[in-house]
Amino acid sequence: MATETAEAEFISFVRARQQALLHAATLMTGDFHTAQDLVQEALIKLADRWESINRGAEYAWVKRTMYRDSVSRWRKVRRESLHADPGEAGGRAGATSYRPIEAWATGQGIREALLQLPPKQRAVMVLRYFEDQTEKQIADTLGISVGTVKSQANAAAKKLRALLPDTVPALNESEGLR
C-alpha cells in the first residue's frame, strides 16, 4: 500500500468485516482453521489490490475471492486425493478441531448436511441463506450464470431434503427451491 491513509482504511475495513467473513468461511468450509486460512488469504489478495478497488465494493470483492478460492481449494484437494495412495489416512476422518463459531451457527444437523454438499452447491446455499443474497448477486459473487445458481440451489435443496427429512417442510417453503 502506497499511503498511510490507504493502510488505515484497509485496517479499518478488516476490523469491521473480519468476523462476518470468518462466519461465512466457517459455514463454507466446515472447519474453523481452514476458514481462518481462507479469510486471511482473501484479505492478503485484497491488500495487494486495495487502492485499485472502488470504495464500497471491498466487501463484495473479498467475499467473491473467498468463495472462489474455497471452490478452487476443494478442486485441488479432490485432484490430489484421486492420485493419493489408498492406504494413506485421508482428509477429515478422525480430525478434530476447535470450533468456537459453532455456537453462532445453529443446527448441528444442518452444518453436517452442508458439509456433504459439493463446494459450489454449498457456496450457493450459504450465500442465499446466510448472506441473504439474490440469485443475481450470487451469480456475480461466484462468477457463474443465474441459471447455474438456480440449478445448484435446486440440486442442493434436493440433497438437503434427503439428508434432513425432518426439515423438508421448511425446505419446500424456501423461496426459489420448489
Domain ranges of the chain: 1-80, 105-178
Give the right CATH number for 1-80 from 1.10.20, 1.10.1740, 1.20.1740, 1.20.58: 1.10.1740
Q: Which residue has the higher pLDDT, 119 or 97?
A: 119
Q: In the chain, count of helices (H) and strands (E)?
A: 8, 0
- The amino acid at residue 37 is D
C-alpha cell at 158: 434436493
Least confident of 22-31, 83-92, 110-119, 167-176: 83-92
Task: Find out if CATH 2.40.50.140 is the number for domain 105-178.
Answer: no
> Does the pLDDT value for residue 44 go beyond 90?
yes
C-alpha cell at 63: 467475499
Q: Report which DSSP code applies to 166.
A: G
The model scores a pTM over 0.75: no
